[in-house]
Amino acid sequence: MTAQRFQCIDRQCNRYARVTVEDAQSERGRACARHAVAALEGLAGAGVVWEDTRGINEHETAALRLAEERSQLSRKDAAA
C-alpha cells in the first residue's frame, strides 16, 4: 500500500487535503474528508491521525469516526 492511495488527484480537491490517514503498515497520506472516508473504508486497520487533521466540520468528523471504526473492525475480522 502506498501513500498515493489516499492522495486526492483532483487539483480542486487536493487544496482541501486536511485529513491524515495512516494504514496498518504505518504509512501516511493526506486527503480531503471525502476521499479519506473512502480510503478508510477500503483499508483494514487504518485510522485518522487526529493530531494532524484540521479544519473539518462536525459532519466530516462523524463520517471519519464511523469509517475509522469500520476499518478497525474489519482488521479484527480478518485476523479471526
At 15, the amino acid letter reads R
**Is the per-residue pLDDT at 4 higher than 70?**
no
Q: Percentages helix, strand, coil for the chain, rounded to the nearest 5?
A: 55, 10, 35
The pLDDT tens digits of the residues spanning 20-71 come to 999 888 988 888 898 899 889 888 889 999 999 999 999 999 999 999 999 9
Q: Quick one: pLDDT band at residue 3, thresholds 50, 70, 90?
A: very low
78 Cβ contact partners less than 8 Å away, ≥ 6 residues apart: 44
